[in-house]
Amino acid sequence: MAFDPATLIYNEAGLIPAIAQDAESGDVLMMAWMNEKAIIQTLETRRVTYWSRSRQAFWIKGETSGHVQELVDFRVDCDRDCLLLSIRQTGPACHTNRRSCFYTAVRDGAEIEIMAPEAG
């Protein structure tokens, strides 16, 4: 069946959550949002492009930082309201310079940092 991004379920802002997972390590690196055009552009260019809710603009991941994401595989969930992107990440995915945005764990009621920023 041909994939039609119009058949996905978007929220009231026209967005769908996209989870970025490292294709090699399996680590979940970040979650961001896409609209229909960002999906089309990501599939065409294989360079992951989100929609920035704060800037209200397309966000070609790594365009300024160089920390690009190359699309390896694109998946849709059973409800068609969430995406899973298998990607090859150059440099850190997080704007804090950590490999993943999920560097804070909650253990025994306390927040602890489980990942340091990368050097450079």
Which residues are at the interface with its own copies (CB under 8 A)?
1-3, 17, 19, 21, 25-28, 30-31, 43, 73-79, 82, 84, 94-96, 98, 101-107, 109-111, 114
Nearer to its own copies, 27 or 70 (CB): 27
Question: What does the CA dihedral 10, 4, 89, 94 come to, rounded to 10 degrees?
Answer: -10
DSSP 83: E
Distance from C-alpha of 20 to C-alpha of 25, rounded to nearest angstrom: 12
Tell me how far, at minimum, the Cβ of 67 lies from its own copies, in Å: 14
Tell me how far, at minimum, the Cβ of 94 lies from its own copies, in Å: 6
Residue type, 120: G
Phi, psi of 84 (to 5 degrees): -125, 120
